[in-house]
Chains A and B, each alone.
Chain A
Amino acid sequence: MKMRPEELVLKIGVSLSDADDASDVEGSSTQTRKRAIAGDRAAFEQLMSQHERRVLATAYRLLGSLEDAQDAAQEVFLRLFKYLHRFDAKRDVLPWLYRMTVNVCHDFRRKRGRQAKLDAAGESDRRPAFAGPDLDFERSDQRRIIELALATLAEKERAAVVLRDIEGLPTREVARILGSSEVTVRSQVSMARVKIRQFADRFEKRRL
């Protein structure tokens, strides 16, 4: 069976998703989407539980605050519920969710102005929302530095690097989600990587 490039990108995006998402992408997920589109509340809850981790994590990386990320994730799923009847049940909703998450986070940041950046860079005593398993102090410290570096990036660079490097989406899909070209995304991602490295270097030198 031949696949269009667009479908191939979607499949790749899904295969890079959670393992449970990948396993039932053609079967039960399609059925779940169909039932959710038909108005089944339980199916919508199931759809939400499949993708809520990715939406919340992406929003947290983009906004730098768990409370704001929760508000953004709530808004994303409310929009999903509102526009669910327009969806094609055969297509995955994850790319749409990513795009909506980026848009909602953009609105949040615009409303708050620079406050988001200052919060993310300045607060060090915030309760950790995410936890890696069995991390030693050095690795968790490196993560903290990278998180601080992320907070210093420009909004578009940050969105590109979060989707490409943290969420692991291919460049082509990131370009579709952000509504830009692959060349632009490559440029944004490479610039973001360099800035993160330079920030980490400066941070280490200051600490020494």
Chain B
Amino acid sequence: MKCDQREVIIALYVEGDLRGHEMRSLKEHLTACARCREFAEGLRASQATLRSLGAELVDVEALQLVRARVLSHIAASRLVTPGGRVWPCWRVATAAAFGGLLILMGVSRLHRHSRPPAPAAPREVAAIEKPAFEGSIANATRTPRQAAVTKAPVVRRRIRRNKDLVAGARSIQQRQPLVVKLLTDDPNVVIYWLVD
């Protein structure tokens, strides 16, 4: 083994990390090789300096700064419950968001109940029963459109009135005329009646 290759082993030897055969072999080599002895001496010196770094005193201000930053960070980002349990900030944020959502839902529900009910749109203002045609072969052979034009059907109107209808009619009375849609049994005949 060349001396260059022994340097790694010498680095272990000077710190007492070699055992058994390796150590005995290296010791024998060191007694004979001045270059390796010199390298070992240099290593001992640098290792002594390296170890002395561990005995250095740390700047107290640097330590205090770290401690202060850690404690302030903990105080700012977390809440401590009376039992000593720590709530991470994400849990606090989630709980706050959920609570806010519940409050919003409650407020919106209250607001909805306090508003007056919207008037129902008039679905059907008037219904027309089946006209009582006098059965005649002539009318039966005509098309429905011709029948509607030539002879107006005799209808009996029955207007269903209820509270919603009246309220709806009153609410829209000032804005636009009431539209009455008259239906017949003929799908092609629809009569619209505008009431002021």
Identify whether the interface residues of B are mostly helix, strand, loop, or mixed.
Answer: helix
Chain A nearest CB, measured from B60 CB (Å): 10
Q: Within the assembled complex, what's the spacing in Å between the Cα atoms of A48 and B70?
A: 10
Using Cβ atoms and an 8 Å threshold, which residues of chain B touch A77?
66, 70
List the count of A-B residue pairs having beta carbons below 8 Å apart: 125
The answer to whether A130 and B70 have CB atoms under 8 Å apart is: no
CB-contacts of B45-63 with A (<8 A): 45-47, 49-59, 62-63
Count of chain B residues near A, Cβ 8 A: 41
Chain A nearest CB, measured from B156 CB (Å): 84
Chain B nearest CB, measured from A126 CB (Å): 12
Against A, the Cβ 8 Å flags (1 = close, 0 = not) of B65-82 are 111011101100000100
Against B, the Cβ 8 Å flags (1 = close, 0 = not) of A175-203 are 00000000000110111011011001100
Mark the stretch among A66-74, A99-107, A109-117 that contacts chain B.
Answer: A66-74
Q: Which residue of A lies closest to B84 (CB)?
A: A39
Mark the stretch among B7-15, B139-147, B160-168 that contacts chain A.
Answer: B7-15
Using Cβ atoms and an 8 Å threshold, which residues of chain A touch B51?
165-166, 168
The answer to whether B46 and A78 have CB atoms under 8 Å apart is: no
The answer to whether B56 and A39 have CB atoms under 8 Å apart is: no
Q: A53 at the A/B interface (Cβ < 8 Å)?
A: yes
Chain B nearest CB, measured from A108 CB (Å): 14
Q: Can you list 8 residue pairs at the A/B interface with Cβ under 8 Å?
A: A57-B56, A74-B69, A77-B66, A77-B70, A130-B53, A145-B49, A186-B17, A189-B17
B residues with CB within 8 A of A: 7-9, 11-12, 14-15, 17, 39, 42-43, 45-47, 49-59, 62-63, 65-67, 69-71, 73-74, 80, 83-86, 88
